[in-house]
Amino acid sequence: MTTDTADAPQASLSGRLAELESRLLAGDRRALARVLSWVESGDERGREMLRALYPRSGRARTIGLTGSPGAGKSTVTNELAKSFRARGQTVGIVAIDPSSPYTMGAILGDRVRMTELYSDEGVFIRSLASRGALGGLSAATQDVVHILDAYGKDVILIETVGAGQDEVDIAGAAQTTILVNTPNMGDEVQTLKAGIMEIADVLAVNKSDLPGADRMVSALKALLSLNPDRGWDPPVVRIVGTKGEGIDKLTEACDSHFEELQSSGKLKAAELARARQQITSLARANVLNRMRTKTGEQRLADLSEAVASRRADPHSAAAAWLADS
Amino acid sequence: MTTDTADAPQASLSGRLAELESRLLAGDRRALARVLSWVESGDERGREMLRALYPRSGRARTIGLTGSPGAGKSTVTNELAKSFRARGQTVGIVAIDPSSPYTMGAILGDRVRMTELYSDEGVFIRSLASRGALGGLSAATQDVVHILDAYGKDVILIETVGAGQDEVDIAGAAQTTILVNTPNMGDEVQTLKAGIMEIADVLAVNKSDLPGADRMVSALKALLSLNPDRGWDPPVVRIVGTKGEGIDKLTEACDSHFEELQSSGKLKAAELARARQQITSLARANVLNRMRTKTGEQRLADLSEAVASRRADPHSAAAAWLADS
């Protein structure tokens, strides 16, 4: 076994794609939008562009935001973006929560707040609606993040609802994961997807001007104390997203976590884990998806015929089928 | 895409394996037993032997027997084997039911009846205890059947309990599938795994000297009438396995079904379906199992490293990982 294939030089792009790549790298938002659409829909051109652009990724900081619907994640994402912008950093936002105002249109108040970001050239917002992407939502999201990273965004915020395993994977793949809670969630803390506390690096108590904020902070700290051996003590930060209160503290908490990742050497381990997770989910999805494509179906029919007529044994046929890409 | 890999000439075996192959093909039971152990445990030598022997398979008739525990499948298998032996045909028996006397040791009466078979050179009995085989129980069973087929057995009887999807797959992969019922099963007919009636080509009512046999026959015929468009009308045969009663009729029913398969051209279609099912289950299992092997784990670590350090993009890495066999 060698890593030849993986280490092979990147194939060069054909004329039109090469031109699109140049435009994207020069900051052309329309070129970026087109490439992201291809990546999302599993278009082969998206894969080619990703192959070409991926070596330029790896610079951006990635921050995942997750939590129950109604926790105010979009507002917090919004405020965090403004906070990074105020420092002069460029921001990419990837919204996966289907109830996010980025995804499905916002109520008036949200729109007003978000207008600032939409008109800022330093911010690029992308909602991922499609769940039909090759390799699943998690792999598609990571590809979108890679492209925004190669495009040059300094910070990428990934907003997802903490509902399913896919969403937990997505949030967990970011360097820093913020779990957004609210005082009025009450018993809902218990119903949060198991494992979501384990991936949280920073806890935000949003709407902390509401009654019950103290109780929520205590409850979260109690939950965190059940899992003390993580080498990092996740801070619990009170914020009021709609007023921008506490956002600087949240940004600072993210910075502290990132510095800890760097100094402890965990950043590299996390990047390896993310790469591994994406490879295996793509590999698994690849096998399942192949059965649903016309060429994959034809190839399987040919191999079945070869096995049935004893020209190939089943194991060699299975290996040959897997070797096709 | 080509079928080159699948159609490539079979690799020749190295010295010791080639000698083992010759001995097996000359009828050496110990050589056969060794190869089957390798095949069952997923040993690479088993795979090599299968690759070499597979082209010699495809001659044997295969008959699956399934039904609830306690239906007397082992006794029926036993009697069927004797019936085929009486015609001068050689028999292979593959027992998967973990409660089968072949598998776990029999009560005295069973042993006495089975001794005849064990001492008959024309019969080879193999129980498959391992559920840890690469590709799952279904693929391992099919490999064992291929080897017994290449070894030269005329008829291969596959006994499995109709409990899980794996078992239904196994029984369904045989050319003819017998569903063994008993009068005293009463309401259990309803609890038979859904889909098991669909794969039954012949229905046996065992222990039909017990009260309720008529009712069971009627119930089965009623169930069959719900699914009339299969082009073959599964006969319902009364037998008393322990007395050998009705076994000749059961053998004849299997013969009729086999003739129908041949004359209708369904035999080839069924063989194709079986090959397809084995290829896809091996392919799926291959991906999952690779993560559990040392080399697969190392390769995944190398590829994750390549992706994390931007020497390879995730899609190329996933394709490279799948291409390894």
CB contact under 8 A, B287 and A287: yes
pTM of the model: 0.60
pLDDT tens-digit series, residues A203-227: 999 999 998 899 888 888 887 887 7
- Give the chain B residue whose CA is nearest to the CA of A284: B287
In terms of residues, how long is chain A?
Answer: 325
Identify the CA nearest to B177 among candidates B194, B152, B197, B193.
B197
CB contact under 8 A, B314 and A54: yes
Tell me the shortest Cα–Cα distance from B68 to chain A, in angstroms. Answer: 30
Residues of chain B positioned with their CB less than 8 A from the CB of A310 = 54-58
CB contact under 8 A, A54 and B310: yes
Of B6, B51, B305, the CB nearest to A272: B305
Answer whether residue A255 shows pLDDT above 50.
yes
CB contact under 8 A, B310 and A279: no
Average pLDDT over residues A5-16: 61
A185 pLDDT band, cuts 50/70/90, is low
A131 pLDDT band, cuts 50/70/90, is low
Q: What is the end-to-end Cα distance of chain B in Å, rounded?
A: 18
Identify the CA nearest to B321 among candidates A141, A282, A137.
A282
pLDDT for the residue numbered B115:
63
Of A278, A310, A319, the CB nearest to B55: A310
pLDDT for the residue numbered A188:
52
For the question of an ipTM over 0.90, the answer is no
A286 pLDDT band, cuts 50/70/90, is confident
Answer whether residue A236 shows pLDDT above 70.
yes
d(CA A124, CA A126): 7
Tell me the shortest Cα–Cα distance from B51 to chain A, in angstroms. Answer: 6
Q: At what angle do helices A136-151 and A29-41 cross, to 10 degrees?
A: 160
Of A47, A271, A288, the CB nearest to B308: A271
- Give the chain A residue whose CA is nearest to the CA of B52: A313
Burial of A109 (0-12, 13-18, 19+ CB in 10 A): exposed
pLDDT for the residue numbered B165:
66
CB contact under 8 A, B313 and A51: yes
Average pLDDT over residues A276-304: 80
CB contact under 8 A, B3 and A324: no
Answer whether residue A18 shows pLDDT above 80.
yes
Sign of CA dihedral A263, A266, A270, A273: positive
Average pLDDT over residues A159-173: 72
Of A142, A313, A323, the CB nearest to B325: A323
Identify the CA nearest to A154 among candidates A81, A100, A259.
A81
CB contact under 8 A, A1 and B324: yes
| Residue A1: CA count within 13 A, CB half-sphere | 17
Q: Residue by residue, what is the 3-state secondary structure of chain B?
A: CCCHHHHCCCCCCCHHHHHHHHHHHCCCHHHHHHHHHHHHHCCHHHHHHHHHHHHHCCCCEEEEEECCCCCCHHHHHHHHHHHHHHCCCCEEEEECCCCCHHHHCCCHHHHHHHHHHHCCCCEEEEECCCCCCCCHHHHHHHHHHHHHHHHCCCEEEEECCCCCHHHHHHHHHCCEEEEEECHHHCCHHHHCCCCHHHHCCEEEECCCCCCCHHHHHHHHHHHHHCCCCCCCCCCEEECEHHHCECHHHHHHHHHHHHHHHHHHCHHHHHHHHHHHHHHHHHHHHHHHHHCCCHHHHHHHHHHHHHHHCCCCCHHHHHHHHHHCC
CB contact under 8 A, B280 and A300: yes
Residues of chain B positioned with their CB less than 8 A from the CB of A307 = 6, 275, 278-279
The residue written with tokens 């046999």 in the block is B213
pLDDT for the residue numbered B62:
97
Q: What is the mean pLDDT of chain A?
A: 82
Mutate to test the interface with B, among A304, A305, A325 (most CBs of B within 10 A): A304
- Please say whether the beta carbons of A126 and A29 come within 8 A: no
A145 pLDDT band, cuts 50/70/90, is very high
Tell me the shortest Cα–Cα distance from A252 to chain B, in angstroms. Answer: 26
pLDDT for the residue numbered B106:
38
Q: Is A89 helix (H, G, I), strand (E, B) or coil?
A: coil
CB contact under 8 A, B316 and A6: yes
Tell me the shortest Cα–Cα distance from A305 to chain B, in angstroms. Answer: 6
Answer whether residue A47 shows pLDDT above 80.
yes
CB contact under 8 A, B286 and A319: yes
- Give the chain B residue whose CA is nearest to the CA of A56: B310
Consecutive sets of 10 residues in chain B, 325 residues long: mean pLDDT of each? Answer: 42 84 95 92 88 92 88 90 96 75 43 63 81 63 93 94 69 88 65 66 94 87 77 93 95 96 91 86 74 78 90 88 71
- Give the chain B residue whose CA is nearest to the CA of A269: B308
d(CA B166, CA A213): 52
A186 pLDDT band, cuts 50/70/90, is low
- Give the chain B residue whose CA is nearest to the CA of A50: B313
A and B: number of Cβ contacts within 8 A: 203
- Please say whether the beta carbons of B99 and B69 come within 8 A: yes
Tell how far CA B46 is from the center of its chain: 17
